[in-house]
Structure 1
Amino acid sequence: MPPSRPPFEAIKDDPDDLVFVEEAAPAAALLAADQPQPQPQPVWRVLIVDDDADVHTTTTFALGNLEMQSRPLEFLHAYSAAEARALLAREADIAVILLDVVMEEDDAGLKLARHIRETLKLADVRIILRTGQPGYAPEIEAIRDFDINDYKTKSELTRIKLYTTVTAAVRSYEQIRAIGNSRSGLDRVVRAGVALMALQGVAAFGAGVLGQVGHIIGRDADGVLCVHHPFDLDAAGASSPRPHLPRLPRLQVVAGAGAFGPLAGSALSDAARAGGPASAALAAIDGALAAGTNVFTDHGATLVFHGKGGRQFAAHIPLAAPLGDLEQRLLEVFGGTVAVGLENVELLSHLHTAAFYDQLSKLPNRTRLVEILDATLDSPARASAILSLVDLDHFAETNDALGHQFGDLLLAAVAYRLQHCGGLDLTVARIGGDIFSVLGDASVVNPAHILALFATPFSIDGQDVRVSATMGLVRLIEHDGSGADALKDADIALKRAKVQQRAGHFYFSRSMGVEIRERVRLMHALRTGFAAGQLFVAYQPQVDLVSRRPVGAEALLRWRTDDGTLVSPAVFIPIAEYSGLIIEIGEFVLRSACHELVRLRAAGHLDFTMSVNVSQVQFRHPLFLQMLRTALAETAVPPQFVELEITESMAMEEPQLLIAMLAEIKRTGVTIAIDDFGTGFSSLSYLQRLQIDRLKIDRAFVTEITHSARGSSIAEMVIQLGRNLGLTVVAEGVEDERQAHILQLLGCPMGQGFLFARPMPPAELQQWLRENTPA
């Protein structure tokens, strides 16, 4: 007689090898054939549905010689969903179906599960979904609707896990069949499981568990459901608690009913110290958790639901009379549904948290804040509510100097301080980086109150760190759009506050919104216009004031829209600089000017200089010098006749860097002019070292030259300065003969303005030059 099959306990500690029953020798088998045949032994019928033959082989090899619930297994095989349908139509008493999700179709397994439950009406058979392609994982709704017993990827199904999974399914099948004569009880369990799956959130699910337990056993739903935390955690979920966050209790009440209702959300140990039902519940739950199993006594039922990550849930239901065997078995079956449901609810809770809450601070993120803002805008609270953005000043430097871990601790400390500055009606969110949002009543959300929070240093890792902040604020009563629009307005106000003054604040106004929206509209229109060829270069001649002979021209960018409207450069040039489009546009202007200069030289205008404006954004671009050299080389223009104009404010902002940069530019052979000279605050010592070639008198001083002695004095000073430094001088904006005459008397050699010519396209420039160049 073969030895008895080993119990699971004897093999469960070996993750790789299962102990199989010893097979009888061939001779023994022949002798056994002569003996009277025993009655067929009851078996558990397992249907394997998979299009991979190797899966059938490995599964039967792993489980073929093992007993479950004192019975061996008998295997049925189907290699497609269609074959499985035919087999199920003729075979009965199948306990477990190991079902592949992806077969002849991506969802063939799910369709078969629907067929089994809805068409064949097989409610008892346990279905275990398996897949080798996790990307085709079934939705939670499918698991719920088709009463799936378990779902595993093939890669995680080791022999032990396969044995455990099938054993659990067999037990469920056995229990369901055993209580088949009490269909009403089973129906209550199924309905309870479905009802629980519809609940969202651990607290709601916990309350639902207590209610359904009472419904199944036909008694009042008095009881308590707790979660057991295996580690010492803080409120942010960290196993190394942070000093500014409270610690979570090891055993915490998730939901309570009846006498336990007021305990929801509290630590059961705190309530137990006062005695009463909580004390008995704590003792019962501790005992059941220690045993790792359900415990039924004459005075209560304690159910244990094993969760993931080491966490466990346990429910205690006081009883006036002990439960019968059927009721206990119903609760055992129901417990399996609850365990799966808790995992699903926790998964959904984690997904919800990841989608709507910041991982570091546990505060609402931008997405959640927009939802809260939308609700606030639709409520009476809008009348006095203020949305503010709080940006930590120079946080990046702190982060770089002291490390990201230190920076994270500082952000968490700031979040904690903001959360506790105004009571429960305040919403604090972290919308990204070092920017927080505070939403609430104007009495609390005001710059004086919020910024005062940063007056006290933050203690981080034993260091006192001083941090200041800048705020942008929006009064929601003045806002007409959505929550997302309100957040954009607050961001506009914050940017304005940062431009004006650090550690300050700024309130959003409607005019700011109009200004920003118009800027964005222009920015998109400019990009489209540039791509469509709406931008072009016009040229304004420069002349010798004595002979009136043309000596050069300034290349000026113009924008004419499709409807013929000319947009002022004063409007679109700042937009181009702000958007960074000036880099491409600037190269276009330089190349156009160089090509035009080549054409003019070919027409005989050999002693002619072309001036091109360079913006600060262009000048600071790391590839500007390379772009200049490439443009000069590809257009084959003589560089000594190309002049770059920079503004006086650019020249004086970082003179040391500019000196080095201009030296590199001068090596290309081009000349340098300072435009709008006299409007800034030049240092003459730096001016002498810049290696510039020309000064341009700003048109404002040329206009004043005939109206006040001051205007004449400034123009005369610039002309004299140019003469002393060996620089040529050009006066801009010359509009009448009197101005030209005064400038000539003051010694200004060249002029540019409407008196001589307006900016004109290339063809007109060439015609003008032919008419105004002496033979």
Structure 2
Amino acid sequence: MSEAQNHPDDELEFIDDEPEAESGGDATNRKVWRVLIVDDDPDVHHTTLLAMRNQTILHRQIQFLHTYSALQTRELLLHERDIAVILLDVVMENEDAGLRLVKTIREDLSMPETRIILRTGQPGYAPEIDAIRDYDINDYKTKSELTRNKLYTTLTAAIRSYEQIRTINAGRRGLDMIVRASADLMQRHGVRNFAAGVITQIAGLLGLAPEGLVCAHDTSGGINLGSNDVTVIAAAGRYADLINRPVDSISDAQVRQALERCLQSQRNLYDGPGTTLFFHNRHGDVAAYLDTRESLDDIDRRLLEVFCVNIAVGFDNAALFSRLNSFAYFDQLSRLPNRAHFIQHIDRLLAAPDHGKQILALVDLDHFAETNDALGHRFGDRLLQEVASRLKQSVSPRVIVARISGDTFGLLGASDDLSPTQLMGLFNTPFTVDGQELMVSITCGVLNLADAGNSGAEALKDANIALKRAKQGNRGEVNYFTREMSIEIQERVKLLQALRHAFDNERLFMVYQPQVNLVTRKAIGLEALIRWRDDDGKMVPPDRFIPLAEHSGLIVNIGEWITRVACHQQARLARAGYGHLRMAINVSVSQFRHPRFPFMLKRAIEDSGCDPACIELEITESMAMVEADFLLHTLDKLKESGITVAVDDFGTGFSSLSYLQRLNVDRLKIDRAFVKEITDSGRGSRIPEMVIQLSHKLGLEVIAEGVEDLAQADALEKLGCHEAQGYYFGRPMEPGPLMDWLSNQAV
């Protein structure tokens, strides 16, 4: 008796063939389990369909596919991959066709998730234990035992296993894709670049074409979106032309409404025509819309939830990068490109073959510091913003305008678009700041990029050289860079480097020029003068290297060395019997203003053992006038030690008699320019005479420098000058010749 007779409930029901839609057809628009029947016996196909008629498993219907040989099965599986279960006959073309097909499915076609149930009507060809052990199958049944209930149970177990494995594998693959997608996105700098990558990566995660867009709702200013509240910041596919446009301009009402609902509800939406995702961002919430032709399953939704968390962090990082990039390349006050960004623009132009037609102009606001001091920094900032706005709006859109430094702007463009003369004309109209009108003049340095070096930094340096030359001359003018300027600067740099080397390697030395009493013509003092002999033995004039030392700040160290050497020389002279000779030491503004100067001078006097009353500091007239208030206090402290002070080059500047009367000085020094003219004409003696009389009225000594002949010495003596120095009395001498000169003077 058969199983059907023993178990009436399991009897197969034979009815007419099922409708075509139940056994094949398109299932793309509905969720079904796809089961492939592989058997060379058509009756088996028909019987299986009858047994599973109108059955659902795990809330889905079953769609059957049919093949009748191993070869036919391989061809079908090359195109049909989404198969949950294969009911596979063991014996078809030959006795092991089914078993060999198992290996093909698993190894060649790489379908590890599909569940395979072997069915055989001849168990001897493939014993159950051997088949289970040697082949990757999930169940083994004889055809006679697969009645309706048992077939249903077997398929349910196989489909449940398939769904669990597919969920695990899909999750693993999805997480792997999320990790790789996140890593790829993190390499994209800037919010808009990052957003464009989001579309591509989500589409890849879901296996879709990149059709979608990303929009942002700016809530904190972190994402620069423009004037509209919600703007499309990235788009792909059929939405590509919506980039940088407001969401209101999206013609598809369903897409527009889905994005608006997503931002308002702050959650992902899966119920629209596509999928809309929400990304919370500290710098402004973001929403992405993708065309998904069918609703997503639970796996895809869970993966998207994980992905959205990563993307939200990514948007934060991208927004932060955009802010840092803004700080790095844009001036925060004027919103113009800054120096670094401007140099990049110059580099790009220099790489172009026609860069010789481009010019670089630097515009400097005249006397801006005084405006800041008088009207305050807030007013100064507003003025800079107004200047930036006028420059940007008045020049061609092709011209790049940047803020290079505090009150200096850079402009870069073709000579046809950028005229320095027109630039100057932009400032003929006053600026209005906080209701107050203010005229501003500018000084301009211009460089033709044909004369530029190989880099933007070098070009900017050359333009700055032209600007500095213009500022040193007459402000309010345009100065063009020439190669000679660069050569001169290079020579100055080389000379400064050589000076540092000479100082470090003791190539500088001191000479001493006698100062005499004009009545007795005897030495009463010496002026300490520095000299430099280069490696070739040639003398470098002091008027070449001393200004360099002052400009670079090296004069502070050199000045300290001069002071110590001069003090020690005075002490040696005293030990040799010339203790009455004073030692005059020149002091620069930089040296005098250095906080260590009083301490250094005191230490030099103490270490050398010289008499402080024999040390005289020479300060220039310009220093005495400009630094008068500072000098009043400092000189009083220094003179407590017993030193004296002389004002050098008196009469060459714009003297202030009120300051001179207040300054605690001992001697005025008539400049050599007036001494030279003292015998040339009647008018030549008037300034020396005036200085001498002024000295007498103020109770000061007076000394003239640059005396080169007897007539000059006699004329000075007749005018009442007390002392003098110059080649007529003695040239600057090193210590050895100086001692000989002093000995001869004594005789």
Q: What's the counterpart of residue 232 of structure 2?
A: 253
Aligned mate of 2:241, from 262, 268, 273: 262
Q: What's the counterpart of residue 567 of structure 1?
A: 540
* The 10-residue stretch of structure 1 (709-718 or 377-386) with the greater mean CA deviation from structure 2: 709-718
Deviations 1:80-134 (A, max 9, x none): xxxxxxxxxxxxxxxxxxxxxxxxxxxxxxxxxxxxxxxxxxxx9xxxxxxxxxx
Q: Secondary structure at the residue paired with 2:616?
A: strand
Q: What letter matches 1:550 in structure 2?
A: A
- Conservation of the 8 A alpha-carbon contact between 1:552 and 1:611: yes
TM-score, normalised by the number of residues in structure 2: 0.67
Distance change in 2, residues 1:310/1:697 (3 Å): closer
1:682 & 1:460 partners in 2: Cα distance? 38
Q: What letter matches 1:478 in structure 2?
A: D
Q: What's the counterpart of residue 262 of structure 2?
A: 288
Q: Secondary structure at the residue paired with 1:557?
A: strand
- Conservation of the 8 A alpha-carbon contact between 2:222 and 2:284: no
TM-score, normalised by the number of residues in structure 1: 0.64
Deviations 1:271-290 (A, max 9, x none): 14xxx32x332111112333
1:228 aligns with 2:213: no
1:435 & 1:228 partners in 2: Cα distance? 36
Gaps of 5+ in 2: 1-112, 114-162
2:444 & 2:175 partners in 1: Cα distance? 61
Q: What's the counterpart of residue 70 of structure 2?
A: none
2:698 & 2:352 partners in 1: Cα distance? 70
Q: What's the counterpart of residue 572 of structure 2?
A: 599
1:672 aligns with 2:640: no
1:653 & 1:498 partners in 2: Cα distance? 20
- Conservation of the 8 A alpha-carbon contact between 1:392 and 1:469: yes
Aligned mate of 1:540, from 490, 504, 513: 513
Structure (1 or 2) with the larger CA radius of gyration:
2
Pairwise CA distance, 1:643: 2.8
Q: What's the counterpart of residue 87 of structure 1?
A: none
1:387 & 1:603 partners in 2: Cα distance? 65
Q: What's the counterpart of residue 383 of structure 1?
A: 356
Pairwise CA distance, 1:519: 2.8
Q: What letter matches 2:737 in structure 1?
A: E
Pairwise CA distance, 1:538: 0.9
1:481 & 1:311 partners in 2: Cα distance? 42
Q: Secondary structure at the residue paired with 1:386?
A: strand
Deviations 1:398-448 (A, max 9, x none): 667777666655555544444333243232333444443332234554445
1:406 & 1:505 partners in 2: Cα distance? 27
Q: Secondary structure at the residue paired with 1:295?
A: coil
Distance change in 2, residues 1:302/1:553 (3 Å): same
Q: What letter matches 2:329 in structure 1?
A: F
Q: What's the counterpart of residue 731 of structure 2?
A: 758
Pairwise CA distance, 1:680: 3.9
Distance change in 2, residues 1:692/1:500 (3 Å): same
Q: What letter matches 2:254 in structure 1?
A: A
Q: Secondary structure at the residue paired with 2:402?
A: strand
Aligned mate of 2:524, from 544, 547, 551: 551
- Conservation of the 8 A alpha-carbon contact between 2:366 and 2:442: yes
Aligned mate of 1:610, from 574, 583, 587: 583
- Conservation of the 8 A alpha-carbon contact between 1:236 and 1:362: no
- Conservation of the 8 A alpha-carbon contact between 2:571 and 2:579: no
Distance change in 2, residues 1:564/1:355 (3 Å): same
1:193 & 1:544 partners in 2: Cα distance? 89
- Conservation of the 8 A alpha-carbon contact between 1:695 and 1:727: yes
Q: What letter matches 1:580 in structure 2?
A: G
Q: What's the counterpart of residue 577 of structure 1?
A: 550
Aligned mate of 1:485, from 451, 458, 464: 458
Q: What letter matches 2:192 in structure 1?
A: A
Q: What letter matches 1:573 in structure 2?
A: I
Q: What letter matches 1:511 in structure 2?
A: E
Aligned mate of 1:770, from 729, 735, 743: 743
Q: Secondary structure at the residue paired with 1:387?
A: strand
TM alignment of 1:719-730, pairs within 5 A = 727-730=700-703
1:719 & 1:407 partners in 2: Cα distance? 48
* The 10-residue stretch of structure 1 (381-390 or 444-453) with the greater mean CA deviation from structure 2: 444-453
Q: Secondary structure at the residue paired with 2:348?
A: helix
- Conservation of the 8 A alpha-carbon contact between 1:614 and 1:646: yes
1:718 & 1:405 partners in 2: Cα distance? 47
Distance change in 2, residues 1:707/1:498 (3 Å): closer
TM alignment of 1:79-478, pairs within 5 A = 178=167, 180=169, 196=185, 199-211=188-200, 220-230=209-219, 233=221, 248-269=227-248, 271-272=249-250, 276-277=251-252, 279-297=253-271, 300-309=273-282, 311-318=284-291, 338-339=311-312, 341-380=314-353, 382-392=355-365, 411-450=384-423, 453=426, 469-478=442-451
Distance change in 2, residues 1:314/1:762 (3 Å): same
* The 10-residue stretch of structure 1 (396-405 or 582-591) with the greater mean CA deviation from structure 2: 396-405
Q: Secondary structure at the residue paired with 1:757?
A: coil
2:361 & 2:164 partners in 1: Cα distance? 59
Deviations 1:611-656 (A, max 9, x none): 2223333344455455545544554433443333333444455667
Deviations 1:52-92 (A, max 9, x none): xxxxxxxxxxxxxxxxxxxxxxxxxxxxxxxxxxxxxxxxx
Pairwise CA distance, 1:761: 1.7
Aligned mate of 2:705, from 712, 732, 735: 732
Deviations 1:566-620 (A, max 9, x none): 2211111111221223233323323322322222222222432322223333344
Pairwise CA distance, 1:183: 9.7
2:649 & 2:517 partners in 1: Cα distance? 19
2:716 & 2:180 partners in 1: Cα distance? 98
Distance change in 2, residues 1:236/1:399 (3 Å): farther
- Conservation of the 8 A alpha-carbon contact between 1:559 and 1:568: yes
Q: Secondary structure at the residue paired with 1:676?
A: strand
Q: What's the counterpart of residue 620 of structure 2?
A: 647
The alignment yields a C-alpha RMSD, in angstroms, of: 4.2
Number of residue pairs the alignment of both structures matches? 586
2:212 & 2:275 partners in 1: Cα distance? 10
Distance change in 2, residues 1:396/1:179 (3 Å): farther
Q: What's the counterpart of residue 131 of structure 1?
A: none
Distance change in 2, residues 1:176/1:361 (3 Å): farther
Q: Secondary structure at the residue paired with 2:509?
A: strand
1:674 & 1:400 partners in 2: Cα distance? 31
- Conservation of the 8 A alpha-carbon contact between 1:179 and 1:186: no
- Conservation of the 8 A alpha-carbon contact between 1:180 and 1:186: no
Distance change in 2, residues 1:265/1:627 (3 Å): same
Q: What letter matches 1:289 in structure 2?
A: L
Gaps of 5+ in 1: 1-123, 125-173, 238-246
Q: What's the counterpart of residue 82 of structure 1?
A: none
Q: What letter matches 1:261 in structure 2?
A: A
1:629 & 1:252 partners in 2: Cα distance? 72
- Conservation of the 8 A alpha-carbon contact between 2:598 and 2:638: yes
1:235 & 1:183 partners in 2: Cα distance? 34
Q: What letter matches 2:449 in structure 1?
A: L
Distance change in 2, residues 1:304/1:707 (3 Å): same
2:732 & 2:560 partners in 1: Cα distance? 20
1:599 & 1:197 partners in 2: Cα distance? 74
